[in-house]
Structure 1
Amino acid sequence: MKIGFNILIVSLFTFSLLSCNQKIEGGKTVSAADILGSPDYQAISYGGYRAKSRDIQPTMEELKEDLRILEAMNIKVLRTYNVQFMEVPNLLEAISQMKSEDPNFEMYVMMGAWIDCENAWTDLEPNHEAESPANAGEIERVVKLANQYPDILKMIAVGNEAMVRWATSYFVQPKYILKWVNHLQDLKKSGGLPADIWITSSDDFSSWGGGDASYHTEDLVALYKAVDFISMHTYPYHNTHYNPAFWRESDSLADLSEKEKIDAAMIRARDFAKSQYDSVRSYMKSIGVEKSIHIGETGWATVSDGFYGPEGSRATDEYKQALYYQHMREWTNTEGISCFYFEAFDEQWKDAKNPEGSENHFGLINLSGQAKYPLWEMVDEGKFEGLTRGGEKITKTYNGNFDSLMQDVLVPPSKD
């Protein structure tokens, strides 16, 4: 079956014209190869939803408001997750308009195509052996947007944590991700997509061979060879609960102050992420796959009433988020690794029935337009001067009082 045949025909006719627009000031063409691994192109995961339901889409002005804030943060690459709603098409149009208004404005996108198994997110039992019939439409929308905005859209990620088995609501067999990756690669060869767009899937480190040997399968190896780069996820934050050996304080640290213990824990969190990255790199080397490896997602929440809060791993607060953000940026910038940090803004739709659920609080900026501790220095430097979010100036959380912030910061549990 040919997917998006009409789109392909239009693409073949218009691609040469569209590609002429892939210029920024000075006549420089920016490609995925230029972006990935360059510290000049800082990346972040973006969702613009502000309400408790995605039925309420962000407006064009709200998207532009966010883009101005992200520009002030020196972010130049956004990762999105699906084109099932109008948020991403409108985001691309907002970027296009802002580029037209200001030739110095620069923003690129790694666009996600959401891929599900059959019966995902329904009352029926998910069938992980078959894919959702909606996947074909998602891919068609991605192709259309990629051809419409070639100067902005530089990478496509087929699926988000769609192959890892703990994603029980929707994961699919790798052969379906491979199918769509190959389809997009074929379109590149035939002129149905810009030739310099890079294709990947964005998934847990284990899906990239870095963990359980059960993921060392023929279909996954074929996928590794088909993608243009590897986009792996690593979450020390979640592992403070699920795999806490690295997190718990050892007896050797007993003489440190509380702050020193926390600082040491966050170094261990960074090293945990590095170990997962290294495990993927080692596995790829062992099977002869030479692809650049980047971090498609990692982050640290600031509120949790569950596994990661005061009654759990005690991982959650703005101080730890700031240390993790700093450590990850420093490491990845030094090593030439792109890091799509998760995420720019808090989004309350993710756990709408539980306001203090951690999934609502991974943002560097909260719903009130307040910059969390990782960004306090930017506020002091005046980076957000004249900018607002929802009509509110960008100010500091805790009224900028560090002592007040630290009252919410807990030392990780001791080892048993």
Structure 2
Amino acid sequence: MNFKFQILVTILVLFIGFGCSSKKDNKEVKKEIKEEMTAAKILGNPEYLAISYGGYREKSREDNQPTIPQLKEDLKLMHAMGIRIIRTYNVQPKLPHAANILEAISQLKKEDSNFEMYVMLGAWMDCLNAWTDKEPNHDIESAQNGEEIARAVALANKYPDIVKVIAVGNEAMIKWATSYYVQPSVILKWVNHLQNLKKEGKLSKDLWITCSDDFASWGGGDPSYRVKDLEDIIKSVDYVSMHTYAYHNSHYNPGFWKVPENEQQFSDIEKIDNAMLRALEFAKKQYKDVSDYVKSIDSTKTIHIGETGWATISSGHYGENGSRATDEYKQGLYYNQLREWTNKEGISCFYFEAFDEQWKDAQNANGSENHFGLFTLKGEAKYPIWNLVDKGNFKGLTRNGAPIIKTFNGNKETLMDGVLVPNTDYNR
């Protein structure tokens, strides 16, 4: 073999080998990055949008659990929105919804190596006699709480690549939750239990523990909540998950919502747009109030938003003869302004919620609790995400087998016909 030719062949072999090796290494690096994603890296990351998810389609949860294929449909839609972490609420044995979601995600990951989704797994907390015909005893916890925690631990260990957060309770300390709320000592007990399991190696050290509760429960409002047990909870959790609802406060605390005197001469659309800016400022203030208190107890703790949302239909306090907060246009302004703020500030926002669910107010089809979704039950995309339909994000995807289309057939004029100015004269 010619000496020069031999050198050339050697160089080519080395180059090809290095190139193949580099491609292989790159794939391994990408795979490694996916596998090592933790709550610490996900929360506050604008590339990992968060949302609350319930896949229930019928009026009863107990009798009509979503199937794995239905859950996979929904997960693909959320993934197409840029969602990468979802929040669930309970792991009760008669409601295998969360366990089925985890299985559905696991299947999707096996089917598509690019599919990435994580879970904030909720463990529901109750007081004694909650949801029964007996008087709730808020000073004693339900015996089921320990079983609920055990099921959450089992699922976190079964799906460690998916479950990145366990939340102890949902609005479990706020006293207006009269059916079931518990004392902070109960939440503290189970947060400490989970943290000890991490120390003992019985849960991943990277799994984050929190509880998800109303802003007031985190010391952001009524000072009666600022007790020693709450201070200890703040010190024990890995981060604080707070809820804020300007929507509900348009009825219960409407000072910010009413059109001020100096805007009475504005056009209707200006009044509406300004009201939604005030709604955003309302959420920002509640976040700041919680942050100020939490940081005064433990300056290292981060605060993320575990819930906030805006309903699109209401037959009650928030409709035409009430505060008039309810429609898709207002939902669109709130959703997009909220995402812009939280993404910029490095705050994860588990927006409530992905899909409408009709079991929440099963006897009242137009009850606001049924209509917080960004998608309707049929899978129509509401106004906040019309732009994603236009961009083709949902092309080829379905809900219940139906392709994704816009509400109101995408006609904004028709949508705006039902958009009302906040009710300045509303007397609650």
Per the alignment, residue 279 of structure 1 pairs with 289
Other-structure match for 1:37 = 44
Conservation of the 8 A alpha-carbon contact between 1:188 and 1:194: yes
Larger radius of gyration: 2
Equivalence for 1:245? 255
Partner residue of 1:78 out of 63, 86, 111: 86
Aligned to 2:347: 337
Corresponding position: 1:54 with 2:37: no
- Deviation per residue, 1:347-373 (Å, 9 max, x gap): 000000000000000000001110000
> Aligned equivalents of 1:49 and 1:331: distance in 2?
30
Contact 1:250 1:415 in 2 (8 A): no
1:393 aligns with 2:400: no
CA distance in 2, matches of 1:26, 1:209: 37
CA shift at 1:250, angstroms? 0.7
Which letter maps to 2:390?
D
TM-score, scaled relative to structure 2: 0.91
Secondary structure in 1 matching 2:146: helix
1:93-114 CA distance string (max 9 Å, x none): 1101111111110000000000
Per-residue deviation, 1:25: 5.9
- Tell me how far apart the structure 2 counterparts of residues 345 and 287 of structure 1 sit (CA, whole Å): 36
Letter in 1 for 2:346: G
Answer whether contact 1:25 1:104 (CA < 8 A) is retained. no
**How far is 1:23 from its partner?**
8.2
| In 2, Cα distance between equivalents of 1:24 and 1:360 | 39
The 1:26/1:279 distance shift into structure 2, 3 A limit, reads: closer
How far does residue 392 in structure 1 lie from its aligned partner after superposition? 1.3
Structure 2 residue identity aligned to 1:165 = K
Query: Following TM superposition, by how much is the alpha carbon of 1:414 offset from its aligned partner in structure 2, in angstroms?
Result: 2.1
Out of 154, 159, 165, the position equivalent to 1:149 is 159
Preserved CA contact (<8 Å) 2:244 2:283: yes
Question: Are the equivalent residues in 1 in contact too, given 2:239–2:304 (CA < 8 A)?
Answer: yes
Distance 1:141 1:23, change over 3 A: farther
Give distance in 1, aligned partners of 2:241 and 2:266: 37
Using the aligned pairs only, state the percent identity: 65
**Within 2, Cα distance between the matches of 1:287 and 1:145?**
32
Residue 289 of structure 1, CA deviation: 4.0
Distance change (3 Å), C-alpha of 1:207 and 1:241? same
Superposition deviation, residue 266 in structure 1: 0.3
Output the amino acid matched with 1:73.
M
What is the root-mean-square deviation of aligned Cα atoms in Å?
A: 1.4
Say how many residue pairs are matched.
Answer: 396
Deviation at 1:257, TM superposition (A): 1.0
> 1:116 matched to which residue of 2?
126
Instruction: Give the structure-1-normalised TM-score.
Output: 0.93
Quick one: distance in 1 between partners of 2:256 and 2:101? 39
Is the CA contact 2:35–2:161 (under 8 Å) kept in the aligned structure 1? Answer: no
Counterpart residue identity of residue 372, structure 1: K
Shift of the alpha carbon at 1:393? 1.1
Identify which of 355, 375, 378 aligns with 1:365. Answer: 375
Where does structure 1 differ by over 2 angstroms across 4 or more consecutive aligned residues?
22-28, 285-290
Aligned amino acid, residue 322 of structure 1 = G
Uncovered stretches (5+) of structure 2, i.e. residues with no partner: 1-28
Residue 290 of structure 1 and its aligned partner are, at CA, apart by: 2.5
User: For 2:286 and 2:245, how far apart are their aligned partners in 1?
Assistant: 9
Which residue of the partner structure matches residue 12 of structure 1?
Answer: none
Q: Which moved more, 1:382-391 or 1:297-306?
A: 382-391
Is the 8 Å Cα contact of residues 235 and 297 (structure 2) preserved in structure 1?
Answer: no
Q: Which runs of 5+ in 1 are unaligned?
A: 1-21
